[in-house]
Amino acid sequence: MEYKPQHPLNHTPRFKPRIIIHGGAGNITPAYLTPDLYKEYRSALLTTISKAHNFMLTPTSSSLPSSLQVSTYAVTLLEENRLFNAGKGAVFTRDGINELEASVMVSSPSTTYPKAGVGVAGLRRVRNPILLAKAILERGEDDLLGRKELDVPSAQGHTLLYGEAAEILAQKYGLEMVDPEYFYTQKRWDEHIRALEREKQGVGVASWSSEEYLPQGTVGAVALDEDGVICVATSTGGLTNKLTGRIGDTPSVGAGFWAEEWTEELTKPGSSNDWRTRPGPAVVLTDALKGLVSDCLPTPFTYSPIAPPWKKVFVTRSFAGSGTGNGDSFWRTAALRTVGAIARFQEQSSAEAVRRVAGPGGILQKSAGDRWKKAGEGEGGIIGIEAILIFDEEGNVIETESAILQNFNCNGMFRAWVDENGAVFTRVWREEDEPDSSYNEGQPEDPRIWCGEKSV
């Protein structure tokens, strides 16, 4: 049962801002990622997450930056780094062209961002595609008003825009435009040529290799702001040697990204779990919701109303996630929307929903069938954040909590995050798959050092 509060909350709940980023997933093995190359990726991830964390906690006027500002800021940093398959480091199509994609979505669109989510694709001249997606989302209220004199060019009510039409908007919005040659890097060109040669010789496909990591993923960031809004931002160059004109999962709502929130009643009068008919704590959670919020509530969790009559208690759950990997597989499974649906309609934690979709043996992997581990199909990972707000029917906030989410089914996923104590972490492999301790996987780091605020 879903519920809309009859009374506004008595005060704006304050969440602790959180962020997690990823830099792609796939066939990332120690043989490919040598210690020296690993250090480059590790440094890039730690620098990005630390700068984003610093930005996230730096007030602008009277408040901290929004989750939209934080997540897109993090992605612009990744787009500027040629190590990652986005922006400057984007891969080539079969025709030797760079075509870029990006998207953003917020968990609580309200009147500020009525479009909720936006995707852009087929970009060849926009330096930072994520900023175009952000700009279209921010202008959604004006675009959706249906004015008699439409401000053309305009995104109007559209959610996904492609190619020249999108680039005209980018110019109008004052975003930085570049010549297509800006996106050329020798490393990506060499990967492009080698893969085409393997395909020509009949020893592989042009978009995946068992011998090296060919980027088929994305970069992404998911951020939670102090108001409880989660935003996902994702950007990519797509699959190595994709067809020119191909649209992947990154700009496609529900495939490569998703965000939403919903409210449920924790107690149902007249049911076997009706806490009003039982002795003990004033709130008794349903079995499903006990598991859902067990990590987010004090133990034992009790809420005692000040005076009868007893109050109903509700939970607002929010989720946002970004996918990376074989985009066509994310498309076929509507991967990120599926995560949200499992969490929402099966009353599972978002962590469990992510595991069921992107974890080993999950929906993504099963979608590849007997082609698994042969051409990159089904490979990928998901990062995300879940937030929980518990309140009573009079709008009194009882509890706010959040959790960082991550899982993948392939050899590795570049990712970094900030824990609840403010330490930053980065990992490529699962803990049990770490090659050796020299890689220094999963060690807590001080973000002030990595963003230049503190000397070593």
- What is the full DSSP assignment across 12-72? ---PPPEEEEEEEEES--TTTS-HHHHHHHHHHHHHHHHHHHHHHTS-BTTBPPPHHHHHH
Work out the average pLDDT over 169-182.
Answer: 96
Work out the average pLDDT over 302-312.
Answer: 51
Domain boundaries, the chain: 18-266+312-450
For residues 12 and 400, is the Cβ–Cβ distance under 8 A? no
Which amino acid type is present at position 372? W
Phi, psi of 427 (to 5 degrees): -145, 155
Q: Please, which pLDDT band fits residue 265 given cuts at 50, 70 and 90? A: confident
Enclosing H/E stretch for 255: none
Supply 416's token pair. 């970094």
pTM of the full structure? 0.88
Which amino acid type is present at position 38? Y
Work out the average pLDDT over 9-27.
Answer: 88
Provide the pLDDT for residue 195.
Answer: 83
Provide the pLDDT for residue 196.
Answer: 87
Lowest-pLDDT range, 94-98, 150-154, 279-283?
A: 279-283
Q: Which residue has the tokens 């993923």?
A: 217
β-pairing verdict for 160-162 and 117-123: parallel
What is the DSSP annotation of 343-363? HHHS---HHHHHHHHHSTTSH
Active site amino acids: 218
Characterize 248-274 residue by residue with b for buried, 16 or more Cβ atoms within 10 angstroms of its Cβ, and e for exposed. bbbbbbbbbbbbbbbebbbbeeeeebe
For 216-291, strand residue ranges (E) read 219-224, 230-236, 257-265
Q: Please, which pLDDT band fits residue 198 given cuts at 50, 70 and 90? A: confident
Given a cut of 50, is residue 297 above it in pLDDT? no
3-class SS of residue 315 = strand
Given a cut of 70, is residue 160 above it in pLDDT? yes
Q: Please, which pLDDT band fits residue 151 given cuts at 50, 70 and 90? A: low
Given a cut of 80, is residue 107 above it in pLDDT? yes
* Integer Cα distance of 234 and 246 in angstroms: 17
Q: Which residue has the tokens 């085409």?
A: 196
Mean pLDDT, the chain, integer: 85
The tens digit of pLDDT for each residue in 389-420 reads 999 888 889 889 999 999 999 999 999 999 99
For residues 300 and 210, is the Cβ–Cβ distance under 8 A? no
Q: Determine the Cα angle at 380 with ends 222 and 236, to 5°.
A: 60
3-class SS of residue 108 = coil
Computed over its alpha carbons, how large is the radius of gyration of the chain? 22
For 268-355, strand residue ranges (E) read 313-325
User: CA separation (Å) from 328 to 39, 307, 325?
Assistant: 30, 56, 9
Question: Which residues are part of a known binding site?
Answer: 246-249, 324-327
Provide the pLDDT for residue 202.
Answer: 66
Enclosing H/E stretch for 293: helix 287-293
> Roughly what angle, to the nearest 10 degrees, separates helices 163-172 and 129-138?
70
Neighbours of 407 (CB within 10 A): 23
- Closest by Cα among 141, 122, 134 to 175: 134
Question: Which residues are part of a known binding site for substrate?
Answer: 246-249, 324-327
Neighbours of 181 (CB within 10 A): 7
Work out the average pLDDT over 319-324.
Answer: 98
Provide the pLDDT for residue 411.
Answer: 93
Work out the average pLDDT over 305-326.
Answer: 80
Could you say which DSSP state residue 238 is in? -
* Integer Cα distance of 323 and 414 in angstroms: 12
Characterize 144-178 residue by residue with b for buried, 16 or more Cβ atoms within 10 angstroms of its Cβ, and e for exposed. eeeeeeeeeeebeeebbbbeeebbebbeebebeee
Burial (CB < 10 A; 0-12, 13-18, 19+), residue 440, is middle
End-to-end CA distance of the chain: 53
Given a cut of 60, is residue 330 above it in pLDDT? yes
Q: Kindly compute the dihedral angle of the four CA atoms of residues 285, 291, 292, 298, in this order, to the nearest 10 degrees.
A: 70
Neighbours of 182 (CB within 10 A): 15
